[in-house]
Chains A and B, each alone.
Chain A
Amino acid sequence: MLRYLKKYWFFALLAPVFMIGEVSMDLLQPRLMSIIVDEGVLGLSNHHIGDLDLVITTGLKMVGFVALGGFFGVMSGVFANLCGQNYGNDVRKDAFGRIMSLSFEQTDRFTTGSLITRVTNDVTQLQNLVTQCIRNFVRTFMLFAGGILSLVMLDLSFGAVVACALPLVILCAVFFLAKANPKFYILQDKLDRVNNVMQENVSGSRVVKAYVREGYERDRFETANDSLVGTQLDVLLLFSYMTPIMNMILNAAVVSVIKIGGIQVAAGAVTPGSVMAAITYISQILNAVMRMTMIFQTVSRGVASGRRIKEVLHCEPAIEDGGFSGTVSCRGQVEFRNVSFAYPDAEDQKVLDGISFTVAPGETFAIMGSTGCGKSSLVNLIPRFYDVTDGQVLVDDVDVREYPLRELRGKVAMALQKSEIFSDTIEENIRWGDPDASEEAVRQAARTAQAAEFIDQKEEGIKTRVTQGGTSLSGGQKQRIAIGRAVLKNAEILIFDDTTSALDLKTEARLYEALKRNCPNTTKIIIAQRIASVRDADRIAVLENGRIAACGSHEELLRTSAVYRDIYQSQMNG
């Protein structure tokens, strides 16, 4: 992750330099103060006669240093932010870009939720780490080291106090951090659980009510809540000891310094002014240690986040562009040659097993089969959402793995099983199919998809905004928008992955008719459950347990395939 800093090395260097400036000014103050007291007021080296001029000149000097210190502080902040935030921005953009190049197999493995946290939360943590390190770490370390140095320079005996107090403070900090750190992970986990129960109940309220499980859910929530509150309380109570104990050590150190100072002053070894300075320094040192514990928290979280982001950044896209750049001999032909497929996380369970078929350009090819038999997996292989385990998928006589992805996916328009709708206008959602399409083209696509009717009923028509996830639309409406999007793309191959399941038969029939009229040369691959959806297809493939059990036209299949007849019976006979 360090290489991202390279670009901002100048800022990364300037920020600590200015910080050193600021801290130096801070460290000078007590020294000047002790000069005012000892020489100006008490006149120790001048037979106890004070010197007002010295007081004033030193005072003015102090103001100058203070102003300078403030300026340095602000500048250090400017550079630290320029560095940290630009760094975070670069990492964020790269991580997002990388996610946008991963294959589904990889995003599946990360899970969507985890990817989202990595781009948002984890990047922020990492950014904090950088800003903290170049600014606060330097500041704290300087205050710490400078404090010790100044203190020892005042008088060695004060150093003894530090030598005693410091290990105690460090021990205390390490103890609390070690005890609390594992709890933070548990806490996050428990918080997730409370939120999950809540989320489930808000979105699944109908089921909860229908099964009269409000009481059960309340108990479930209270258990999760109790457990969260309990852990949170544990942590808070643990930390409630930390402040007073640290304070006590610090204050005991101050008392010791005064005591030792008293003895030393009596012996004539130090001046009262240096006792006062010593008190300031010792507060500074111990304070620095306590701040350090906070910084270590940020660092340890930042490092953990950095690791998570690195996993994304180092994830090489499993599906890469092929080098094919020649011309193809036909448009819209799909061929499966002895294809087998298993999902990468379950390699011993073959989803598809030795599938071979060819779909000719312009043909309508339907796929049927029982729940979970691999229909979606099959069509996912065409635009290379996944790669085959064995065999070959060819589009226009070229292996899909040889195409550049963009070119391959440009040939295929697919309406997915789960219609994904984005929070934008209906028009823009359809325009995803072709960003350059005119409004009229979008409307035409909506008409073909049988979406025009319900769109026109909306007050703002095609300009109606859709809520995130399309919750303001019904299932059938979402499907039709997704179909409109695919139609607008005007690709060689059109794939519907059970995208008409929520349409009534009439609408569906009109859709297919419109498709036939408006996209006659497009190869259509249609997954469906209803015989009515597929019966007009040129050929129908019946998938069973990952193999093609039968393939042919509706009439052929009725004659030759028992499975197809079975499906037909289940739908047609009364």
Chain B
Amino acid sequence: MAETKQDLNQYKIPGMRGPRNRQAVEKARDRKGTFRRLVLYFGHEKKRLLALLVCVVATVVAAVYTPRLQSQAIDSISQGRFSKLDRYLLLMLAFYGGQSLFTLFQGRLSALLSQSIVKRMRNDLFQKIVNLPIRYLDRHPHGDIMSRMTNDIENVSNTVSQSLSSLVSGCLTILGTVFMMFWLCPSLALLSCTTVILTVAATKFLSSAMRRFYRRRQELLGSLNSTVEEMVGGYRTVAAYSRESAVTEEFNRTSDDLTRVGIAAEILGGSMGPVMNVINNISFVIIAAFGGYFALKGSITIGTISAFIIYAKQFGRPIDELAQIYGQIQTAIAGAERVFAILDEPSEDKSGGENMDHARGVITFQNVNFSYEEGKPVLQDFNLTVEAGQKVALVGSTGSGKTTVVNLLMRFYDIDSGQILIDGVNIRDISCDELRHNTAIVLQDTVLFADTVENNLKYSGEGITDQEMEEAAGMCHCAGMIRRLPEGYRTVLSQGGGSLSQGQRQLLSIARAFLAKPRILILDEATSSVDTRTEKRIQDAMVKLMANRTSLIIAHRLSTIRDADRIVVMDRGRIVETGSHEQLLAAKGRYYELYMTQFAGQAT
């Protein structure tokens, strides 16, 4: 029984992708629309897709016809016509050769097709993601976006390159086989079709039972994985609170549940093989018994029996495969829908024609109103002017809207009403890139890339010399620390810069901002983990660097802001006080209160 062909079609390359046949099936919301769009999206692959289908058809034709040749060869043996045998055998070889050749083409085409699809979709999606407004990224879980990039695209590409050809070859094989069987012997064909009913019934029953368990298992696996991730990731806290045994107990419970459900799921899934085997063997028996009976009556030959045995096999497999393929296609369409959903998001509006070549850096907020969520205003009628070359500090408690000011100035978010001007030009009229080129920010949560220290420092662009880089590192007091790293500036930082302390990471990101040579510099709690003496030295360096340039500083620590030309005290989205350190102290208002807590210490 030439079951090899089908078996090899199922041959999955290990390590490439997970088991596809056991995924929980998902449904797309707008299946038709998404499908049409998917077809259009791959429109330019038409030629390859067409060639692939040609190969599939050729392979199927060969697969359907060769058993007939084999049956003729066997007949010529059993009937003693040995002279004809060689002709049949040569024909068989030719067909097998053709089949192998087309299988080869099919494999290569589907590889090229899937990889070109993956590449294009990934690039498109990535390009979209870097151009999405911050608002989108702030509001969508990052894990979800990541999984669209990995799982969903993989599913789409697999379906287009493999499931589609399996679908076509499956349908064609069934049709061709049925045709051949009926052509050879209609009554035996009808008899062997009875097992089809069995196949369909068994597939339906088992897979619906399986689906329940597989879904439950998927849930448990997810919860197990996130327990591991959280507890191993937060191991310091686990150890500090001696929660090891409690955590392990919880893990063991989930693990036991998972094992119970997993055993049930796998036993059901594993029964599929033997059950199909039984059904196949039953059709084998039917063919052998009834075929023998017909052969005795002389209505068919031995060779026909042999052909029928192969056909019955060929026939049973695709049916059980088609059910899986249908599920895969549905999952892929649901995935494509999710990918398209991101691609459809409007990109960040970066328009604006004005440039900032001669900008002096006067920042004006005029009657600015802003809210992240409707009805919950964050900034209300906010007015502020920062003169060129000034150093302005924003102070206020958490939630007073300091960071929002930065978000608006960088055009990470657009304001609801009012306007923000730089040198009298509305920032909506300045191109976003231009605006950001001239503005450097250092954020509360430092972002360092898994790259060399050098590339991290030179992130703002090309044309930074090594000397400039070393100078900046010196100014930010990280030169010594970098020198102690195993490979100095060429040391690759681990992802998220894990090997450095929080304070050291802040120093690096300040150096990076210095190297961007901005006209406007924004420090948002940029030195919160740096000790105050180091901070003081950095500030001294900043004074030189930012002479004639504008800086905006947000901090809790009064030592950070005291030197500012102007201090703006904010509360609930409004400015409550503004002035220099001395003026504000003299005014004995909010700032004075804050300032005095330093001296009064803990006894306010």
Cβ–Cβ < 8 Å partners of A72 in chain B: 274
Given the contacts A243-B8, A416-B240, A248 and B96 also touching, CB distance less than 8 Å: yes
Cβ–Cβ < 8 Å partners of B530 in chain A: 371, 529
Q: Are B556 and A503 in contact (CB under 8 A)?
A: yes
Q: Are A81 and B270 in contact (CB under 8 A)?
A: yes
B464 at the interface (CB under 8 A from A): no
CA distance A200 to B536 in the complex (A): 31
Given the contacts A212-B436, A485-B241, A509 and B259 also touching, CB distance less than 8 Å: no
CA distance A508 to B564 in the complex (A): 23
Cβ–Cβ < 8 Å partners of B295 in chain A: 41, 50
Q: Mark A235-253, 1 if CB is under 8 A from B, else 0.
A: 1110111111111101110
Contact of B13 among A96, A239, A516 (CB under 8 A): A239
Given the contacts A199-B146, A240-B108, A570 and B536 also touching, CB distance less than 8 Å: yes
Tell me which of B352-360, B417-425, B500-508 binds A: B500-508
CA distance A476 to B516 in the complex (A): 30
Given the contacts A259-B85, A510-B604, A529 and B531 also touching, CB distance less than 8 Å: yes
Q: Mark B396-408, 1 if CB is under 8 A from A, else 0.
A: 0111000000000
A145 at the interface (CB under 8 A from B): no
A410 at the interface (CB under 8 A from B): yes
Cβ–Cβ < 8 Å partners of B208 in chain A: none
- Chain B 15-49 residues near chain A, CB threshold 8 A: 15-16
Q: Are A210 and B439 in contact (CB under 8 A)?
A: yes
B224 at the interface (CB under 8 A from A): yes
Interface of chain B, helix or strand or loop or mixed?
Answer: helix
Q: Are A80 and B270 in contact (CB under 8 A)?
A: yes
Q: Are A229 and B118 in contact (CB under 8 A)?
A: yes
Q: Are B232 and A115 in contact (CB under 8 A)?
A: yes
- Chain A 217-231 residues near chain B, CB threshold 8 A: 217-218, 221-222, 225-226, 229
CA distance A100 to B552 in the complex (A): 45
B1 at the interface (CB under 8 A from A): yes
Cβ–Cβ < 8 Å partners of A468 in chain B: 226, 229-230
Counting residue pairs across A and B whose Cβ atoms lie within 8 Å, the total is 512
CA distance A179 to B458 in the complex (A): 40
Q: Are A240 and B251 in contact (CB under 8 A)?
A: no
Q: Are B240 and A409 in contact (CB under 8 A)?
A: yes
A518 at the interface (CB under 8 A from B): no
Given the contacts A202-B145, A272-B77, A255 and B92 also touching, CB distance less than 8 Å: yes
Residue of chain A at shortest CB distance from B9: A243
Cβ–Cβ < 8 Å partners of B559 in chain A: 530, 570-572
- Chain B 296-320 residues near chain A, CB threshold 8 A: 296, 302, 305-306, 309
Cβ–Cβ < 8 Å partners of B73 in chain A: 258, 262
B385 at the interface (CB under 8 A from A): no
Cβ–Cβ < 8 Å partners of B76 in chain A: 262
- Shortest Cβ distance from residue A285 to the other chain B in the assembled complex, whole angstroms: 11
- With most chain B CB atoms within 10 A of its CB, the pick from A208, A250, A570 is A570
Tell me which of A32-40, A154-162, A323-331, A393-401 binds B: A32-40
Q: Are B13 and A236 in contact (CB under 8 A)?
A: yes
CA distance A406 to B410 in the complex (A): 50
Residue of chain A at shortest CB distance from B539: A570
- Chain B 60-87 residues near chain A, CB threshold 8 A: 70, 73-74, 76-78, 80, 82, 85-86
A342 at the interface (CB under 8 A from B): no
B382 at the interface (CB under 8 A from A): no
Residue of chain A at shortest CB distance from B88: A258
A171 at the interface (CB under 8 A from B): no
21 contacts between A and B (CB under 8 A): A22-B277, A66-B282, A69-B274, A74-B267, A112-B232, A201-B129, A201-B130, A202-B146, A205-B130, A229-B119, A236-B13, A242-B11, A252-B93, A254-B92, A258-B73, A283-B2, A385-B236, A432-B243, A505-B558, A532-B598, A574-B563
